[in-house]
Amino acid sequence: MFEKILIANRGEIALRINRACKEMGIATVAVHSTADADAMHVRLADESVCIGPPPSAQSYLNIPQIIAACEITGAEAIHPGYGFLSENARFAEIVADHGITFIGPRPEHIRLMGDKIAAKQAVKAVGIPTVPGSDGAVGSDTDAARIAGEIGFPVLVKAAAGGGGRGMKVAHKPEDLSLALATARAEAKSAFGDDAVYMEKYLEKPRHIEVQVLADSGGKVVHLGERDCSLQRRHQKVWEEAPSPALNAAQREEIGETVTTALAKLGYLGAGTVEFLFEDGQFSFIEMNTRLQVEHPVSEAITGIDIVREQIRIAAGGLLELEQSDVTISGHAIECRINAENAFTFQPSPGTITQFHAPGGLGVRFDSAMYTGYRIPPYYDSLAGKLIVHGRNRNECLMRLRRALDELVVGGIETTIPLFQRLVREPDILDGNYHIHWLERYLAARGA
């Protein structure tokens, strides 16, 4: 097992990884920008190293500085968390070249799944169902029109190197296609340096279902059930729950077995999440995230399995100690992403926390690096905390969430708490009757 791990991230996820390391008896190194000198993850780590000024490109994305921090402190492994360098295959290779262990998948799998076209082809070959669409990158507008005619409108144009909803455009009818292609290509080039796009059938009211997996070096792959991430705004998740209100036991077993069998064939290693659109009883692959997910705590809540701990054990060469039959789903869990944003316009709201009170009680977890007096900087993602609640069933979970939201106090900035206080009382949410377009339509109807 490792004696010291460097955490190449910040905020709540850096704190989450630090906690897992401490419980395993592993010393930790926090890296930080000058803007994060007083951050909680820096305060609680055993050591800390400043790696640059506030802009991410000069600090949290600065590979030479991160490697130097490892060498200075003697850290044997790097945990990248999520975002920043977590899905950068070249970073994983550089880490290995310096004799340091990257706590994550093999570089070839990060690279494969980072290319949405190659990923779709690869998973299709090992038995995972995919959305009808182009076999590869779309060439000319004429080719695009032909493919769209074959799969039928509406169609979704997606960046091959995309993520986070960037480089995605919908063409509802033939005359929309040319503009959708041009816009998606321009966004993809700007965001990812690659203007390749592909096309898929646009599903009208699908659920976003993802399957959490763990895979060891001995070829064993287990899944931890599914998460429903259908409440989204501009393709960004805001609310996740497990298990999904939309699946029955047979569907859950079917998709879990499909995913684990496929990833065993691919020789996958570590934690990962395979994401699907689910409509009319059919699953369609959209992407795989080769890292820890923001919403991993809901899977931990319903299974009792520490995913970060398992990531570290696998990276150290350990084998999974559990069989699929050992994974049991207990109760229901929901996570709300508490962002430093206006609850309805989603305008960022950095600033100083003047009041802070975290909710507590049975089945309540609040992952956050906030504290009274902490200044949320304007340079990074607006996620300020994650409220996770667990109950014996979905109704108990919802009532516990309502109570916890009313207890949570964050003063001095705007947050998304009021949005969740409203959603947790909406009939469609209470009934579990929503899809990936539901939240945007809900907000639009209220002028948000």
Residues belonging to the active site: 291
State the Cα–Cα distance between residues 112 and 29, nearest whole angstrom.
30
CB 123 within 8 A of CB 285: yes
Given a contact cutoff of 8 angstroms between Cβ atoms, the answer to whether 250 and 354 are in contact is: no
Q: Show the CA angle centred on residue 145, arms to residues 156 and 288, nearest 5°.
A: 30
CB 197 within 8 Å of CB 167: yes
CA atoms of 254 and 273, how far apart (whole Å): 16
Q: How many residues does the chain have?
A: 448
Beta bridge mates, 127: none
CA distance linking residue 424 with residue 436, whole number of Å = 17
Contact yes or no for 434/230 (Cβ under 8 A): yes
Q: In what order do the strands lie in the sheet with 101-102?
A: 47-52, 27-33, 4-7, 77-79, 101-102
Angle CA(26)–CA(29)–CA(34) in degrees, nearest 5? 160
CA 339 → CA 265, 316, 336, distances in Å?
38, 34, 9
Give yes or no for a contact between 327 and 310, defined as CB atoms under 8 angstroms apart. no
DSSP secondary structure code for residue 164 in this structure: T
Report d(CA 296, CA 231) in Å as an integer: 16
